[in-house]
């Protein structure tokens, strides 16, 4: 009997030590996961925009000593007050992640909050298009710390941390020159589709988030090992180690983004342009060409266009997008030929003669692919008198000429013109009758003329025979692709652009009365 009691005692001690070791291992694992969160936050500080803004910022976080300790009951009340579809569970694991963001990671968290002003509107618009909970916008905070260039040890890339295979599955291009996983807009559309597909499997958002991190195969395995229970906390111990902290981290990031001010964290004003425009590039182009001609920092171009791995836009057989601050997008359109030609021999063709760089002190600089000014051979000179409200781009569109040509003919610097100024416009001899009265037209008449021309072009180049698989929509006054897409559940403005083969330039020229097609949802 004594021997049996002794063996039971030894066994009990051994089992207690085993449980203690397990708990210790869990604590070490959770600490490791939190350290990884901290490392991700710290890496964000090396992003050019963030680094530049942090250096310029004089704001400092309030020291912890001046902030009262937050009790569990306060954390619970704050999480419960958030108007969210997803359940914001609170426990000791969640608390550790909350404090990783609001205490240990204050400096980096202030940068994330500043960046959210740029990225969250993108995420929200796309999540809304797919009818997904808007709180999913917090996923990239824990995935990448809002760093589009983030790469995990496993090779997951971008804001939404797509692996190569998953990215390709959702039509993201990954090549030597382009990685769409870094493109905030394309990757967000892919993430929305992926999340929608996962919800169709689980019908539970915490399981969806877990599956987003480790894949549905691992979640299904955990559900089987938990005897069919379909609750995140019930399958918690059966999930891969690196996934167990994922939902707590998500809840911690959600808390941070809603209650940072309660912890004395002040957002850093990140110097990233909130108003941008997208240009479709149809020729091979180096970002350095754009940077030097438009006098933009190359780092800014890289941050706005992180998908181009080698600074090269490989537009040879297909068009690619280039995102620019709005004011610079207008300049790009006016200097497009000059930009393509600038130092093209250095960047792409060493056999050709180098084109001299543009001289901005002289508005006569002009460079085409052959470094020659626009020809006036076979053309007639017309005179247009500038009126109040006129801009260079509009005048060029009324005569169907390039903005850069109009500037060259009239020695225009930048986009400055004045009322009463006489502009020379050269039009083909056989089209003189069409354009000779433009100078006498009202603004409404000129815009209608452009609308007819644009519609005719679109109709001739993009029209197709009636197909019952499509809905045909006639554009009304005040419509845009976003408002049209909202009329058709499951359809996005990008879907409409793709099905109609529209470029961004086509979208800007859409007019009332034009007919577009929309794919029917089966």
Provide the pLDDT for residue 481: 78
Catalytically active residues, by annotation: 143
Percent residues over pLDDT 90 in the chain: 36
CATH 3.90.580 corresponds to the domain 2-168+197-263: no
When pLDDT is cut at 50, 70 and 90, the band that residue 61 belongs to is low
Record the pTM. Answer: 0.61
How many angstroms from the chain centroid is the CA of residue 40? 20
Provide the pLDDT for residue 475: 80
When pLDDT is cut at 50, 70 and 90, the band that residue 125 belongs to is very high
Give the residue range(s) of CATH 3.10.350.10 domains in the chain.
Answer: 375-440, 462-519
Please determine, for residue 369, whether its predicted confidence score (pLDDT) is greater than 50.
no
Please determine, for residue 35, whether its predicted confidence score (pLDDT) is greater than 70.
no
Percent residues over pLDDT 70 in the chain: 74
Mean per-residue pLDDT for 270-295? 88
Please determine, for residue 265, whether its predicted confidence score (pLDDT) is greater than 80.
yes
The backbone region for 219, taken as left when phi is positive above 0, alpha when psi lies in -120 to 50, beta otherwise, is alpha
DSSP code per residue over 409-462: HHT--TT---TT-EEEEEEEGGGHHHHTTGGGS-HHHHHHHHHHHHHHHHHHHH
Residue whose token pair is 């240009």: 279
Give the residue range(s) of CATH 1.10.530 domains in the chain.
Answer: 2-168+197-263
Mean per-residue pLDDT for 165-175? 93
When pLDDT is cut at 50, 70 and 90, the band that residue 520 belongs to is low
Give whole-number Cα distances, 126 to 57, 63, 254, 297, in Å: 31, 37, 19, 29
Mean per-residue pLDDT for 271-278? 82
pLDDT 10s digits, 436-455:
888 888 876 776 665 455 44
Please determine, for residue 415, whether its predicted confidence score (pLDDT) is greater than 80.
no
What fold characterizes domain 375-440?
Answer: Membrane-bound Lytic Murein Transglycosylase D; Chain A (3.10.350)
Lowest mean pLDDT among 62-66, 86-90, 145-149, 198-202: 62-66
pLDDT 10s digits, 3-27:
444 444 444 444 444 443 444 444 4
In whole angstroms, what is the distance from residue 449 CA to residue 394 CA? 12
Q: How many CB atoms lie within 10 A of CB 494?
A: 16
When pLDDT is cut at 50, 70 and 90, the band that residue 470 belongs to is confident
Arch. (CATH architecture) of 462-519? Roll (3.10)
């Amino acid at each position: 009997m004594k021997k049996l009691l002794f063996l039971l005692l030894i066994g009990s001690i051994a089992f207690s030590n085993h449980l203690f070791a397990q708990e210790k291992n869990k604590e070490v694992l959770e600490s490791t996961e939190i350290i990884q969160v901290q490392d991700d936050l710290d890496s964000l500080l090396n992003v050019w925009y963030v680094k530049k803004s942090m250096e310029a910022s004089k704001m400092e976080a309030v020291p912890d000593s001046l902030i009262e300790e937050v009790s569990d009951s306060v954390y619970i009340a704050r999480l419960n007050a958030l108007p969210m579809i997803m359940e914001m569970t609170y426990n000791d694991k969640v608390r550790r992640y909350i404090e990783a963001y609001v205490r240990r990671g204050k400096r980096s968290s202030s940068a994330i909050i500043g960046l959210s002003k740029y990225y969250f509107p993108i995420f929200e618009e796309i999540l809304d298009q797919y009818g997904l909970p808007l709180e999913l916008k917090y996923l990239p905070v824990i995935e990448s710390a809002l760093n589009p260039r983030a790469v995990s040890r496993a090779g997951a890339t971008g804001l939404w941390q797509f692996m190569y295979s998953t990215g390709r599955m959702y039509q993201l291009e990954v090549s030597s020159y382009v990685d769409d996983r870094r493109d905030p807009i394309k990757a967000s559309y892919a993430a929305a589709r992926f999340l929608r597909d996962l919800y169709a499997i689980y019908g539970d958002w915490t399981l969806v988030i877990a599956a987003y991190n480790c894949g549905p195969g691992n979640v299904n395995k955990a559900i089987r090992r938990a005897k069919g229970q379909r609750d995140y906390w019930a399958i918690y111990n059966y999930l891969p180690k690196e996934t167990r902290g994922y939902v707590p981290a998500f809840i911690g990031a959600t808390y941070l983004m809603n209650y940072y001010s309660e912890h004395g964290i002040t957002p850093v004003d990140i110097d990233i342009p909130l108003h941008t425009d997208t240009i479709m590039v149809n020729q091979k182009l180096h970002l350095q060409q754009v940077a030097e001609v438009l006098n933009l920092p190359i780092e800014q171009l890289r941050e706005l266009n992180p998908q181009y791995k080698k600074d090269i836009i490989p537009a040879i057989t297909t068009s690619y997008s280039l995102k620019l601050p709005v004011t610079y997008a207008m300049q790009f359109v006016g200097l497009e030929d000059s930009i393509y030609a600038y130092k093209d021999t250095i960047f792409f063709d060493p056999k050709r003669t180098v084109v001299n760089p543009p001289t901005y002190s002289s508005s006569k600089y002009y460079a085409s692919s052959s470094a020659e000014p626009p020809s006036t051979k076979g053309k007639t000179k017309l005179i247009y008198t500038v009126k109040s409200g006129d801009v260079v781009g509009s005048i060029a569109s009324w005569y169907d000429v390039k903005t850069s040509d109009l500037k060259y003919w009239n020695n225009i610097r930048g986009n400055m013109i004045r009322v009463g100024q006489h502009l020379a416009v050269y039009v083909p001899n056989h089209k003189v009758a069409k354009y000779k009265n433009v100078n006498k037209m009202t603004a409404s008449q000129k815009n209608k003329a452009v609308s007819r021309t644009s519609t005719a072009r679109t109709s001739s180049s993009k029209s197709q025979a009636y197909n019952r698989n499509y809905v045909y929509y006639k554009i009304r006054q005040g419509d845009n692709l976003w408002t049209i897409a909202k009329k058709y559940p499951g359809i996005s403005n990008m879907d409409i652009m793709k099905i109609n083969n529209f470029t961004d330039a086509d979208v800007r020229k859409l007019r009332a009365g034009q007919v577009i097609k929309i794919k029917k949802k089966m």
